[in-house]
C-alpha cells in the first residue's frame, strides 16, 4: 500500500510539472528581413517570414530563408535530387530573430536577438559521433558580426557563432525534409524535437530546384 501511494503521488507530481501544452505551431507572414542584418545579407533573403509559436501561441522565433541558395552540382545530380552536401559548407541560407531565449541542440542559451543561419557539417570524429541523428546543422551568428560573405573557413564560422552563446557554436540540427510542401509547416520529430519543415530554393547556375529541410528549433542532443 505504501509503494502504491508513493507511485500515485509521484504520478500526480509529474502531471503537475508537465506543461499545459507541448504542441508548437507556425504562422507564415510577409515581412522584410530584420534591419539588424548587414545590407549584403538582407538583400539575399526573401520576405516570407515563418513565425514559430509555443504551446500558448506566444512568438518564440521568426525565420527568413534565402531567395536562392547556390549549390555546386552536375545537371544529373540536379535531376536526381540534390542533398545539402552539394551546398558549400558555411553558405548563408537564412536568418532568425529570437523573440525569447532559445536553446540550441547542445542545450546552450541563445539570447533574444537577430542571427544569421549558415550551413555546417558535423565533424566525423570521436568527440561528435553519435551526438545527433544527422550531420547537417545551421549555425547561428550575431547579425552584427556577419558581413554576408558568400562562404568562409569553417573555423571562422565556428568562432563567429561562438559569439551567439559565449562557449560553443550555436547549432540547430537539420532533419531531412522529404515531406516539405509548397507551404512551411511544423512537425513533431519525436523525442522532444519540433521543426519547421520547408522547401529551400536552390540554384545551380541557371538550373533551379528545391531541397526540403526540417529546421529543429526545439530539441536537444541526448549527449548535451
Q: Give 21-67 pLDDT, tens digit per residue.
A: 469 999 999 999 999 999 999 999 999 999 999 999 999 999 999 99
- Provide the number of structural domains found in the chain: 1
159 occurs within a structural domain: yes
What is the C-alpha separation between 193 and 173, in angstroms, rounded?
10
Rounded Cα–Cα distance for residues 41 and 216 (Å): 22
Q: How many residues does the chain have?
A: 224
Choice between 67 and 223, residue whose per-residue pLDDT is larger: 67
Mean pLDDT score of the chain, rounded to an integer?
88
Q: Is the pLDDT of residue 15 over 80?
A: no
pLDDT greater than 70 at residue 20: no
Is residue 128 within 8 A of residue 100, CB to CB? The reply is: no
Dump the DSSP string for 178-213.
TT--SS-EEEEEETTEEEEEEEEEEEETTEEEEEEE
What distance lies between CA 198 and its chain's CA centroid?
11
Tell whether 11 is covered by a domain.
Answer: no
The whole model's pTM is what? 0.87
Please say if the pLDDT value at position 13 is more than 70.
no
pLDDT at 80: 93
Block residue for cell numbers 559548407: 89
- β-pair partners for 185: 197
Domain that holds residue 129: 20-218
Q: 223 in a domain, yes or no?
A: no
Report the C-alpha gap between 23 and 140 in whole angstroms: 24
What's the pLDDT score for residue 22? 60
Question: Is residue 76 situated within a structural domain?
Answer: yes
Exposure string over 154-190, b if 16+ CB within 10 A, otherwise e: beebbebbbbbbeeebbbbbbbbbeebeeebbbbebe
CB atoms within 10 A of CB 196: 24
On whether residue 2 sits in a domain, the answer given is no
* Residue pair 78/186 in contact by the 8 Å Cβ criterion: no
Beta bridge partners of 200: 211
pLDDT per residue as tens digits for the range 121-160: 987 654 445 556 789 999 999 999 999 999 999 999 999 9
Let me know if residue 214 belongs to a domain: yes
Amino acid at each position: 500500500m505504501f509503494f502504491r501511494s508513493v507511485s500515485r503521488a509521484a504520478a500526480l507530481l509529474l502531471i503537475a510539472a508537465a506543461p499545459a501544452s507541448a504542441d508548437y505551431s507556425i504562422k507564415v507572414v510577409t515581412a522584410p528581413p530584420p534591419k539588424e542584418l548587414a545590407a549584403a545579407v538582407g538583400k539575399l533573403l526573401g520576405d516570407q517570414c515563418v513565425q514559430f509559436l509555443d504551446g500558448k501561441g506566444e512568438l518564440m522565433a521568426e525565420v527568413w530563408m534565402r531567395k536562392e541558395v547556390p549549390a555546386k552540382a552536375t545537371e544529373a545530380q540536379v535531376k536526381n535530387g540534390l542533398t545539402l552536401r552539394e551546398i558549400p559548407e558555411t553558405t548563408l541560407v537564412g536568418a532568425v530573430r529570437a523573440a525569447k531565449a532559445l536553446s540550441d541542440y547542445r542545450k546552450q542559451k541563445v539570447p533574444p536577438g537577430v542571427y544569421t543561419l549558415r550551413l555546417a557539417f558535423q565533424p566525423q570524429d570521436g568527440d561528435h559521433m553519435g551526438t545527433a541523428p544527422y550531420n547537417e546543422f545551421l549555425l547561428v551568428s550575431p547579425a552584427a558580426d556577419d558581413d554576408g560573405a558568400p562562404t568562409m573557413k569553417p573555423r571562422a564560422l565556428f568562432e563567429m557563432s561562438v559569439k551567439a552563446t559565449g562557449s560553443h557554436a550555436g547549432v540547430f540540427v537539420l532533419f531531412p525534409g522529404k515531406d516539405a510542401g509548397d507551404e512551411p509547416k511544423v512537425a513533431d520529430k519525436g523525442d522532444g524535437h519540433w521543426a519547421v519543415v520547408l522547401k529551400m530554393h536552390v540554384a545551380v547556375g541557371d538550373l533551379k530546384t528545391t531541397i526540403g529541410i526540417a529546421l529543429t528549433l526545439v530539441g536537444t542532443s541526448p549527449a548535451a
